[in-house]
Amino acid sequence: QVQLVESGGGLVQPGGSLRLSCAASRMISRFNVMGWYRQAPGKVRESVARIVGGVSTYYADSVKGRFTISGDNANNTVNLEMMNVKPEDTAVYYCNGVLYGVNYWGPGTQVTVSS
């Protein structure tokens, strides 16, 4: 049973910072891909950032230069550092992992950017 659990969401002011963490029940080095998605009300779920093969990182254009994804092998977590957040970053953020071709999802954590 593979489990992913997000933490770190909350309310943050525009221009502020927030750090999301995803704890995995398996060694993250085993996953082919680990990443973060988000879904805003009335919108489809979209990819935010991902790590492929534990090395290559990819970001959505909307978050490039503001968000940073990183893996912590010692703690089996994948983190998303969010800086200079904007109201349009408001969404439920989901951790995703691909292991042996199977997608696993966390339950999500709410991020609200508002003054």
What pLDDT is attached to residue 99?
Answer: 94
114 CB-contact burial (10 Å; exposed 0-12 / middle 13-18 / buried 19+): exposed
Q: What's phi and psi for 24, nearest 5 deg?
A: -105, 145
Of all residues in the chain, the percent with pLDDT exceeding 90 is 95
At which residue do the structure tokens 């200079």 appear?
A: 84
DSSP 3-state of 55: coil
DSSP 3-state of 93: strand
CB 35 within 8 A of CB 106: no
For residue 67, the one-letter residue type is F
**25-44 pLDDT, tens per residue?**
999 999 999 999 999 999 99
